[in-house]
Structure formats: C-alpha cells, structure tokens
C-alpha cells in the first residue's frame, strides 16, 4: 500500500481522535498533512506536535493567534488557515489524497462537499451532507471521480455486507442484485426501557450517558431520541441508492451486530465487532485492504445473548419524522436536520425539555415552505429558514 496523505476535518472530536489513534499505529502508511479544530486548542496543539501537519484550519484569527502563542520557540509551525475558506483549502490541496470528514452537524456540509468535488477519497463520518442533499452529493462524487466510504458504524457494516463490496472504484458498491432490505441496528440508547410517561424529566446528563458508545454530546442526544437512526435511514437511501421502504430499524441493545443485509434467498449477512469507532475508521482508511485497528477482539464465548426488538414508535417519535422526510425527499430532510440541531442545542442548554425535541422538529417540518430544487443554494437557504423557525418555537415553548 502506498503512503497516503490525510487531512482530518474535526480532528479534536471523537472521530478525529480515533482516526489519529489508528494512524499512529501505521505511520508508514499515512502522513497527516492537515488538521482542523475550531475548539479545544490544547488538544489541537498536542496533535500538531505529534503529527507535524503542514496545514491547520481554525475558526478565526483569534484562535490562530492563540495557537501560535502556545507553541514553543523552535517548534515547526504549520500553515494556519482561517474559517470556512480555510477548511476548503485544507481539503482541496493537491497534496491531499484522503479526507476524514468528522465535523458534526450542518457545518460539515461545505468542506465535505468541497473534498468530493475535488475528487478526493472521502471518509464520511458526519451524516449531515448525505441527509441534507444526499442524491446531489453522490452525483457530485460520480462527476468528480471521488471515492466515498462510510464511517458510521451502521453504514460501514452495510457496505461490508453488500455484494461486491470493495469491487467498485467509487467505494460504495454499485451492485445491489439480490438484496431485499437493509437492517440498521441501534442500541436504543439510554432510555430504551424507560416508560413513555417518564421521558419528560430527562436531563442532559442522563441523555449523553450512552450505554455502549463514546460519542460527542449532540450525537449522544440523537441516540437518546433515536433521531440518529432516522438520520441514518435518510443517509442510507442516498448512499446505497435504496428506497425508505427497503430499510428497517432493529433495536439491538448489545451493539455487537452493527447492521445487516437481507437477501432475496433468505440469507442475512451481518458485520459484527466491538462497539469501537476505530473498526470502521481502519476499514475505510485501508480499503480495499485491511489493517490492525487496536480494537479489542470480539470474544464469542463471553457473549451471553444477543437481543433484537422493534423500536417503540410512541416513545421515539423522531423515527417517524425522519421516515416521513426520507419518503417525501426534496428539501424536507434538510429541514428535519436543521430543526433537530437547534432543538438538541436548546435541550443541552436546558432551554427545552427532552420531549420538546421531537415537537419542535415536527412543527418546523409542518411550517417551513419548500421549493422544488435541491441545489446547494436552496439547501442552505432552507437550512437557515428552519433554524430561524425552530428558534422562534423554542423561545415560545421554553422548558415545561
């Protein structure tokens, strides 16, 4: 395998940290040429010292000045890039072979799309680009020759379980012959066994305490509402070119089976492993080859049982809203995503009750006008309209 030059969007977050952990095990295969971090300057400085990137993108000139002042005399200083333009430069440079897209939320759309349009090998960890404008995103990849590889454990599991996975130069398999349906698994989050009537008093601390995975706060709340499964459903439709009715969601509390593919002959192929993001990261970094990830091996003799159950549609209304957005398509998934981001942020700030998240999303979906086109300008305008409407509703509702 030739040495690859890697840029990481969101290097100080969970995905970025895990990516660098895998890379550190294989320095002979990967050269980190670019990092981006808009918060956690201490962690970013540590990463700069360890991996010596040529470029680092930060939020503003003040972060650039702070980072420069933190560096010791004689240390190698990377080229500092600023803001959205800096992220674009980070991922489109000729020296970059591969981009890990790990920025959480809609903020990851533009730099991830820029990497795709530049024809890079793009490891997509953030759901939002494929949720907000999935078909157009994949079309851009086809036009530019970009390689798209999924990092979400569920989509990576499906990718590994599909026919001819790894045979297509575009990354995501082109052949779905014989596939009946995709089965997205999810743990059910921390409130799988909680009564519906007890959901209103959930605190941010309880919602971010995921039973199996170590994730950021926003994604942990999405897991608690099961909106993450809804976003994954929308993402899978574009990523694998399937209809919403070809995807089922299965609650699997142990998080050992990461997703499954059912075939027309009755076969079901599943990808199993410990709940550790280094597995899909290592798979995508080395694809179509394999490399050691540092993940604990799966010990079948220590597993007592694997459980499966359908999700509770009453307890988790976000699933219904996401499926509606997937079925209607167009700009509605962008509305869903924007409203959810604003509602989750308000919940984490204690300005909105946990059960208010789904209520805000539904009301925004019902009230934001939609145009016919799904180009980038329309997506960005709709995203802003949905955020404004969500903010108005959150202000009116408050915590109750």
Query: How much is the pLDDT for 36?
Result: 97
Per DSSP, what are the bridge partners of residue 387?
none
Per DSSP, what are the bridge partners of residue 78?
none
Q: How far apart are the first and last CA of the chain?
A: 57
Three-class secondary structure of residue 243 per DSSP = coil
| Cis bond before residue 288 (omega within 30° of 0) | yes
Torsion-angle region of residue 82: left (phi > 0), alpha (psi -120 to 50) or beta?
beta
CA-CA distance, 103 to 108, in Å (whole number)?
5
Phi, psi dihedrals of residue 166, rounded to the nearest 5° = 95, -5
Question: Where are the strands (E) in the chain, listed by range?
Answer: 4-9, 30-36, 55-58, 79-82, 98-101, 121-124, 147-150, 179-186, 247-251, 257-263, 268-272
Low-confidence ranges of the chain (pLDDT < 70): 164-175, 212-214, 398-400
171 with 287: CB under 8 angstroms?
Answer: yes
8-state DSSP, 145? T
Query: How much is the pLDDT for 209?
Result: 83
Any idea what the Cα angle at residue 374 is, between residues 92 and 113, rounded to 5°? Answer: 10
Query: How much is the pLDDT for 171?
Result: 63
Strand pairing class (55-58; 98-101): unpaired
- Number of Cβ within a 10 Å radius of residue 283: 26
Q: Tokens 């909105």 belong to which residue?
A: 352
Query: How much is the pLDDT for 164?
Result: 66
Strand pairing class (98-101; 4-9): parallel
Query: How much is the pLDDT for 216?
Result: 77
Q: What is the chain's alpha carbon radius of gyration, rounded to the nearest angstrom?
A: 21
2 with 26: CB under 8 angstroms?
Answer: no
CA 367 to each of CA 193, 341, 375, 387, 394: distance values in angstroms, whole numbers, following the listed order = 33, 17, 21, 12, 14
Q: How many residues does the chain have?
A: 400
8-state DSSP, 29? T
CA-CA distance, 14 to 27, in Å (whole number)?
20
Which domains does the chain show, CATH number per domain?
4-150 (3.40.50.720), 179-329 (no CATH)
Query: How much is the pLDDT for 304?
Result: 85
């Amino acid at each position: 395998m030739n040495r690859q030059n890697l840029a990481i969007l969101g290097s100080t977050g969970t995905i970025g940290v895990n990516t660098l952990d895998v890379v550190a095990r294989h320095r002979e295969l990967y050269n980190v040429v670019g990092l981006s971090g808009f918060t956690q300057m201490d962690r970013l400085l540590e990463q700069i010292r360890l991996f010596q990137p040529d470029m680092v993108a930060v939020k503003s000139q003040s972060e650039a000045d702070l980072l420069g002042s933190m560096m010791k005399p004689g240390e190698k200083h990377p080229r500092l890039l600023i803001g959205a333009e800096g992220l674009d430069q980070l991922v489109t440079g000729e020296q970059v072979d591969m981009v890990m897209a790990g920025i959480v939320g809609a903020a990851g759309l533009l730099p991830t799309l820029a990497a795709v349009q530049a024809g890079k090998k793009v490891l997509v960890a953030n759901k939002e680009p494929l949720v907000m404008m999935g078909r157009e995103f994949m079309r851009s990849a086809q036009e530019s020759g970009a390689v798209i590889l999924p990092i979400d454990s569920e989509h990576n599991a499906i990718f590994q379980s599909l026919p001819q996975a790894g045979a297509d130069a575009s990354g995501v398999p082109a052949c779905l012959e014989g596939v009946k349906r995709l089965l997205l698994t999810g743990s059910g989050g921390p409130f799988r066994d909680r009564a519906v009537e007890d959901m209103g008093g959930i605190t941010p601390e309880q919602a971010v305490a995921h039973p199996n995975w170590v994730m950021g706060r926003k994604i942990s709340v999405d897991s608690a509402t099961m909106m993450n499964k809804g976003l994954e459903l929308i993402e899978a439709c574009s990523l694998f070119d399937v209809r919403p009715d070809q995807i089922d969601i299965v609650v699997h509390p142990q998080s050992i089976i990461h997703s499954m593919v059912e075939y027309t002959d009755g076969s079901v192929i599943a990808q199993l492993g410990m709940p550790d993001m280094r597995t899909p990261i290592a798979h995508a970094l080395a694809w179509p080859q394999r490399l050691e990830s540092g993940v604990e091996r799966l010990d079948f003799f220590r597993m007592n049982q694997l459980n499966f159950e359908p999700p509770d549609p009453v307890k988790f209304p976000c699933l219904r809203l996401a499926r509606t957005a997937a079925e209607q398509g167009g700009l509605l998934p962008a509305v869903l995503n924007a409203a959810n981001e604003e509602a989750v942020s308000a919940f984490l700030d204690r300005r909105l009750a946990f059960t208010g998240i789904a209520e805000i999303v539904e009301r925004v979906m019902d009230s934001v006008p939609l145009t016919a086109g799904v180009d980038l300008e329309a997506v960005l305008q709709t995203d802003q309209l949905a955020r404004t409407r969500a903010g108005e509703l959150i202000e009116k509702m408050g915590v109750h």
